[in-house]
Amino acid sequence: MLLSATFVTVIIDNSYCKFIDNNFLKQLDNNMDIIPFSNGVYDLLMNSFRKYNDNDYVSQYLPYDYDKNASSKMLDKFLTDLYNTNDELLYVLRMLASFLTPKRGLEYIFLKVQDKMESLY
């Protein structure tokens, strides 16, 4: 038995409000704790790569597959030549990583740099 068009329309109209997410656009691409790649997301809070889930609300992503074994010998050499100790290198890498999330403002970064500079003299 075929359902009447009116009945289907009533079902759709009454169901619409149950399935609509009014906050969808606000949540879209708003999670600053993940870096989306074509094959999943790197979760900055968990410090690990994982597959996408429904709560990520991602519409844009880096057009690369994440590869945990990727390395750049040229970049590694450049950085180790540039900084005298592993502690300095680690400090700079952590500071650069903090730019990935806007949760820490520029004031925080400048204070950390100022603290580091003062400790060198």
Q: In this predicted model, what pLDDT tens digit does every residue of 19-74 receive, in sequence order?
A: 677 787 888 888 888 889 999 999 888 889 999 998 898 988 889 999 999 888 99
Residue 120 clears pLDDT 60, i.e. is over it = no
Computed over its alpha carbons, how large is the radius of gyration of the chain? 23
Residue 22 identity: N
Confidence of residue 1 (pLDDT cuts 50, 70, 90): very low
Sequence spans of domains, the chain: 22-68, 71-121
Residue 119 in tokens = 């400790």
Put simply, whether the predicted model's pTM sits higher than 0.85 gets the answer: no
- H helices, E strands: number in the chain: 5, 3
H or E element, residue 34:
strand 34-37
Across the range 78-107, mean pLDDT stands at 77
What is the structure's pLDDT at 116? 60
What is the structure's pLDDT at 94? 80
- Tokens 């074509």 correspond to 38
